[in-house]
Chain A
């Protein structure tokens, strides 16, 4: 992707305009990248909280927001792919709850093997994603409405069915399930790195940075999503169906398959986050994930994705999640009222939408 724009090999006859375009081409190429704005914002926010609070940049404090950002990044990247493909999934947040509850109840209530429980919730997630995709594509209704419906269904089931089975709304005590440790190894493990010796950390006693498995999963998701978007046919199709669906269909892009696949990918990511949260916190609540669906969308938009589709990047969405994670924890370390985060989110969203819109008009402008 990152082609350093070479100067035009053949000077065009309309010299004045083309020269001007050529001179700023390198800078314009960087500014045109969807994630540039988010990267700048992330750096600014990191510096701000590092200098204004004591805990933020210390290893123990950083461990918290790195985990938090990681699990949001997984969903934000999946939601970004879907958004580049021109669709939304409002059931993505509730999905993380549903999958965690399915696996949790199977292990705690019926003592079923951990891998069977994990596989069951995966199948359920993919099925829900498939239904979302088929409904949107078959009816032609906006995905915003269709997945709003799915969201309420899941939210209701998460409460009603769980209460029916275990007579309470939180699943606990599933560590006795057969094979639990191997499952926990995959989703709930952590690596501790002592970085207290680093000259700028200078706190040997508390210099332990904890990296949870969510972070490795997130890195994997970002790398694979970027690979798919930039280097594969599927990625080309995702940009095309989001940018101009009719045109894509006319040149033979399998629009139906691409979009249904995207809904299933989002559901898959929901399952992944559901498992990561379940095995790290060793509990699942009926309300887990409700309300997070908009945060994923905001992360993607802050990362440079267009709400209208056809433009964006996986790295950008991950940076959006990093920003959200840092702000969320930074506000806590500041002892500010946590409600400030919503005001902040709103401002970030509006700012990002304005910037993205400006970029889009420039990119689409006909000479």
Chain B
């Protein structure tokens, strides 16, 4: 509705969206070292318009490193990174943004003490007037911020309040709304649900799906398969900086995904240990339940991919 009218407005910085299914980003055997630390090696995947590519892995697996390369915050040290059929090597986030690759970082890239509307337009401010009278079009920016957030279902009391006073889920949604408004073709989300409660996570997942339905390519980083599976079309698993393969949704069930992520045996051992140390803990109980369910599920061909390290 009104979102589309405003969203297609004159400030969209990125190029037009390609038809769904067109590959926008292709990476082949990409790698990154920090000095002597090998954070990532031989990772390949694709991001297509109108699809959600999930990057899954435990803490330290190299997920953030991977997306920082795509976002222009780091440069890769090996492999090939192709956008729209052209080889690229970004040296700043601005270059990635110019190609319509927008990132919502784990820390959300917001300035806590600044008002919501100033954060929404930070770096892409709307101005009016010319010469020394060139000034921020404050009324317009406030209106757009309010309507864009309303379209996402966030009803703010006052867009003038510091963004630091919003809840985690609200801030996440502001960051997503912002990227979508500024003409992102590829939206990269770094663990958007990691710090959120169940309900807030659900809200954020809804916006991920919404962005996908608009025809954006979405890269969704998570260490939680239960969050990734419902919205994902394609899954790339990382472990200790290596790719464990790319899977389409049809090739993989949620159970396979859970099992692959931790490695079935490791997970089972962990759940037993948890149960022994904290017999009354909710987490331990849930985990035991999950593991039992997963391991009892009939094993299928996907388990042959398990490196079992």
* A residues lining the B interface (CB < 8 Å): 3, 5-6, 8, 10, 12, 18, 21-22, 25, 227, 231-233, 235-237, 239-240, 243-244, 246-253, 310-311, 360, 363-367
CB of A252 within 8 A of CB of B97, answer: yes
Name the one of B113, B123, B157 contacting A18, with C-beta atoms under 8 angstroms.
B157
CB of A12 within 8 A of CB of B155, answer: yes
CB contact under 8 A between A248 and B162, given known A233-B125, A233-B136, A236-B118: no
Which residues on the B side are within 8 Å of A227 (C-beta)?
135
Chain B residue nearest to A22 (CB atoms) is B157
Which residues on the A side are within 8 Å of B123 (C-beta)?
237, 240, 248, 251-253
Which residues on the A side are within 8 Å of B124 (C-beta)?
251-252
Interface positions of B from 59 to 83, Cβ below 8 Å from A = 71, 73
Which residues on the B side are within 8 Å of A6 (C-beta)?
158
Task: Please measure, in the bound complex, the distance between the C-alpha atom of A25 and the C-alpha atom of B107, giving whole angstroms.
Answer: 28
CB contact under 8 A between A8 and B157, given known A239-B118, A250-B103, A367-B166: yes
CB of B113 within 8 A of CB of A231, answer: no
B271–chain A nearest beta-carbon distance, Å: 32
Task: Please measure, in the bound complex, the distance between the C-alpha atom of A227 and the C-alpha atom of B103, giving whole angstroms.
Answer: 31
Task: Please measure, in the bound complex, the distance between the C-alpha atom of A233 and the C-alpha atom of B135, giving whole angstroms.
Answer: 7
Task: Please measure, in the bound complex, the distance between the C-alpha atom of A129 and the C-alpha atom of B201, giving whole angstroms.
Answer: 48
Which residues on the A side are within 8 Å of B160 (C-beta)?
3, 5
CB of A236 within 8 A of CB of B112, answer: no
CB of A243 within 8 A of CB of B114, answer: yes
CB contact under 8 A between A250 and B111, given known A22-B157, A236-B136, A366-B164: no
Chain B residue nearest to A5 (CB atoms) is B158
CB contact under 8 A between A252 and B164, given known A236-B136, A239-B118, A244-B110: no
Which residues on the A side are within 8 Å of B134 (C-beta)?
232
Which residues on the B side are within 8 Å of A247 (C-beta)?
105, 107-111
CB contact under 8 A between A251 and B122, given known A239-B111, A310-B111: yes
Chain A proximity mask over B80-122: 1 for CB below 8 Å, otherwise 0: 0000000000000110010000010101111111100010011
CB of A250 within 8 A of CB of B127, answer: no
Task: Please measure, in the bound complex, the distance between the C-alpha atom of A262 and the C-alpha atom of B253, giving whole angstroms.
Answer: 55
A364–chain B nearest beta-carbon distance, Å: 4
Which residues on the A side are within 8 Å of B138 (C-beta)?
231
A280–chain B nearest beta-carbon distance, Å: 29
Q: Is chain B's binding surface mostly helix, strand, loop or mixed?
A: loop
Which residues on the A side are within 8 Å of B125 (C-beta)?
233, 236
Which residues on the A side are within 8 Å of B71 (C-beta)?
250
Interface positions of B from 284 to 299, Cβ below 8 Å from A = none
CB contact under 8 A between A248 and B157, given known A232-B134, A310-B111, A365-B165: no
B277 at the interface (CB under 8 A from A): no
Task: Please measure, in the bound complex, the distance between the C-alpha atom of A6 and the C-alpha atom of B158, giving whole angstroms.
Answer: 8
Q: A232-B127, A244-B112 given; name 17 further pairs at CB < 8 Å.
A: A5-B160, A8-B157, A18-B157, A21-B157, A231-B136, A232-B135, A233-B127, A236-B121, A236-B122, A243-B112, A251-B122, A252-B97, A310-B114, A360-B113, A363-B113, A363-B165, A364-B164
CB of A253 within 8 A of CB of B135, answer: no
Which residues on the A side are within 8 Å of B165 (C-beta)?
363-367
Task: Please measure, in the bound complex, the distance between the C-alpha atom of A10 and the C-alpha atom of B123, giving whole angstroms.
Answer: 30
Which residues on the A side are within 8 Å of B304 (C-beta)?
none
CB of A240 within 8 A of CB of B114, answer: yes
Q: Which 5 A-B pairs have the closest CB atoms?
A: A252-B123, A243-B111, A251-B123, A250-B109, A247-B109
Chain A CB count within 10 A is highest, among B121, B158, B160, for B158
Task: Please measure, in the bound complex, the distance between the C-alpha atom of A18 and the C-alpha atom of B157, giving whole angstroms.
Answer: 9
Which residues on the A side are within 8 Å of B162 (C-beta)?
363-364
Name 9 interchain pairs, CB-CB below 8 A, sorted by A: A22-B157, A231-B135, A240-B114, A243-B114, A247-B111, A310-B113, A363-B162, A365-B165, A366-B164
Which residues on the B side are within 8 Å of A21 (C-beta)?
157
Chain A residue nearest to B112 (CB atoms) is A364
Task: Please measure, in the bound complex, the distance between the C-alpha atom of A363 and the C-alpha atom of B165, giving whole angstroms.
Answer: 7
CB of B94 within 8 A of CB of A252, answer: yes
Which residues on the B side are within 8 Å of A243 (C-beta)?
111-114
Task: Please measure, in the bound complex, the distance between the C-alpha atom of A5 and the C-alpha atom of B136, giving whole angstroms.
Answer: 20
Task: Please measure, in the bound complex, the distance between the C-alpha atom of A310 and the C-alpha atom of B114, giving whole angstroms.
Answer: 8
B184–chain A nearest beta-carbon distance, Å: 12
B168 at the interface (CB under 8 A from A): yes
Chain A CB count within 10 A is highest, among B110, B118, B168, for B110
